Amino acid sequence: MTDPLAAFEHDLAQLASAHLIRKRPAVEAVEGAHLRVAGQNVLAFCSNDYLGLSQHPALVEAAQRGAAKYGVGAGASPLVSGHSDAHEALERELAEFTGHQRALYFGSGYVANIGIIPSLVGRGDAVFSDALNHACLIDGVRLSRAETHVYPHNDLAALARALEGSTARRKLIVTDAVFSMDGDVAPLREMMVLCERHDAFLMIDDAHGFGVLGPDGRGTAAHLGIDSPRLVYMATLGKAAGSAGAFVAGHATLVEWIMQRARSYIFATATPALVAEVLRASVKVIREEGWRREHLTRLIARLREGTASLPWEHPESFTAIQPLIIGGNAEALAAMTALRERGIWAPAIRPPTVPDGTARLRVSLSAAHSEADVDRLVAALRDVAR
């Protein structure tokens, strides 16, 4: 009888030989940017907690207060009985904070994107997607069954040609605002001009810009001064906001349509109300504690100055994402291991997350880091590079 698992074992062995096996460490928070992994205390440059809010006392207190008031489960989908007054207040406050008419809260960024895109476009429509978009955007596009055009990364000329050649009923451009592996920002102003010219909508995933960029941390669209009824603004709340979930914001008509059509919203049990209370506290802190963004900006400049002489490519990025492109999978893993031996955790990112031949250390900075932390990382990187 044929072994039903033999093919999987063979494919796993192939992944291992290509240095593409992923492992899942058990992590314990210690304080700030310090974690304990397998009994080792490490200085971490791997988290998307860009403002250091995941352990903020105001958020922890809000979680405790929310649990005491609402319990720890929602019990049903939002359209049945899972939508609480805490969720209602959070959506209202997110809309006001980002400058939009209305917002809708989802349980995660992945859940949001695989629901939003198919609710906006389908058969007979066209979607235009950046080649380096996050997996959840790619999967949302596939689920939509719309005609798909993938344009080279941030290539406005190619995007314009694709839009001009489309006769689709509805057109939707989909892009990350800040790209998660390179830290560069999409040319959103120019994209909105193309939307006006070709009667299209622009959906941006601001997972890595919300809370960090723009006035008071209102996000990349606010940073670039974009305000249009054609804008579909999505952002996650498990990164700079320090908790969990995501939201989509925009014109009230668009958001109402998404609520009525997004299957990942309609058919999923709602996130517990205590999380909504945590996020309300987070938005308040993001607005009021601007020193966190100022400190993060200084750390970014300090790191870039310190890595200028390294032999690895360091793409231009003014965001908290600072990749160091090494190239080979084995070499990137070796650099990560060498840093871990020095008590520093900067993850090696390999294909298929990034293109072949561009394996890298993805350094993520946080307001929880100190200047001394960055200096320690730079010294270790120089030592490893030698």
Choose the catalytic residue: 54, 84, 119, 180.
Answer: 180
Q: Tell me if the bond preceding 57 is cis, omega within 30° of 0.
A: no
Give the contacts of 297 (CB within 8 A, at least 6 positions apart). none
Residue 31 amino acid letter: E
Share of the chain above pLDDT 90, in %: 94
* Domains assigned to the chain: 24-51+290-385 (3.90.1150.10), 58-288 (3.40.640.10)
How far is the C-alpha of 300 from the C-alpha of 317, rounded, in Å? 9
Predicted confidence band of residue 24 (pLDDT cuts 50, 70, 90): confident
pLDDT at res. 6 = 93
Q: Is 264 a catalytic residue?
A: no
Does the pLDDT value for residue 32 go beyond 90? no
Q: Is 69 a catalytic residue?
A: no
167 belongs to an annotated ligand binding site: no
Rounded to an integer, the average pLDDT of 242-263 is 98
Instruction: Note the pLDDT tens digit of each residue in 123-172.
Output: 999 999 999 999 999 999 999 999 999 999 999 999 999 999 999 999 99
134 belongs to an annotated ligand binding site: yes
**Dihedral, CA of residue 365, residue 366, residue 372 and residue 374, to nearest 10:** 0
With beta carbons less than 8 A apart as the criterion, state whether 177 and 205 touch. yes
12 token code pair: 């796993």
- Per-residue CA distances from 189 to 98, 105, 160, 220 (Å): 17, 26, 14, 11
SS3 category, 36: strand
233 belongs to an annotated ligand binding site: no
343 belongs to an annotated ligand binding site: no
Does the pLDDT value for residue 368 go beyond 90? yes
180 belongs to an annotated ligand binding site: yes
Choose the catalytic residue: 171, 223, 239, 295.
Answer: 239
Does the pLDDT value for residue 375 go beyond 90? yes
314 belongs to an annotated ligand binding site: no
How far is the C-alpha of 282 from the C-alpha of 363, rounded, in Å? 24
Beta strand 126-130 pairing with 359-364: unpaired
Rounded to an integer, the average pLDDT of 222-229 is 96
How far is the C-alpha of 17 from the C-alpha of 99, rounded, in Å? 50
Rounded to an integer, the average pLDDT of 57-69 is 98
pLDDT at res. 19 = 87
Q: At what angle do helices 371-385 and 329-341 cross, to 10 degrees?
A: 130
Share of the chain above pLDDT 70, in %: 100
Beta strand 200-205 pairing with 231-236: parallel
Q: Is 239 a catalytic residue?
A: yes
How far is the C-alpha of 323 from the C-alpha of 228, rounded, in Å? 32
Question: Which of 191, 184, 188, 251 shows the shortest CA–CA distance to 224?
Answer: 188
SS3 category, 372: helix
pLDDT at res. 96 = 98
How far is the C-alpha of 348 from the C-alpha of 25, rounded, in Å? 14
Beta strands (DSSP E) in the chain are 27-31, 34-37, 40-44, 102-106, 126-130, 147-151, 171-176, 200-205, 231-236, 246-250, 321-327, 344-345, 348-349, 359-364
This prediction's pTM: 0.94
Residue 175 backbone dihedrals phi, psi, to 5 degrees? -155, 150
Rounded to an integer, the average pLDDT of 330-344 is 96
Instruction: Note the pLDDT tens digit of each residue in 92-125.
Output: 999 999 999 999 999 999 999 999 999 999 999 9
Does the pLDDT value for residue 39 go beyond 90? no
Average pLDDT, whole number, for the chain?
96
Residue 324 amino acid letter: L
pLDDT at res. 191 = 98
pLDDT at res. 253 = 98
Question: Which of 219, 241, 253 shows the shortest CA–CA distance to 108?
Answer: 241
Give the contacts of 27 (CB within 8 A, at least 6 positions apart). 35, 36, 37
**Beta carbons within 10 angstroms of residue 357's beta carbon:** 11
Question: Which of 329, 359, 362, 357 shows the shortest CA–CA distance to 345?
Answer: 362
Choose the catalytic residue: 208, 223, 314, 369.
Answer: 208
- Per-residue CA distances from 240 to 99, 192, 213, 364 (Å): 18, 25, 10, 12
Dmax of the chain from CA atoms? Answer: 66
Establish how many alpha carbons lie within 13 A of residue 99's alpha carbon, considering only the half-sphere containing its beta carbon: 17
Helices (H), 183-289: 188-198, 220-223, 252-261, 263-266, 273-288
Rounded to an integer, the average pLDDT of 175-198 is 97
Predicted confidence band of residue 71 (pLDDT cuts 50, 70, 90): very high
Predicted confidence band of residue 361 (pLDDT cuts 50, 70, 90): very high
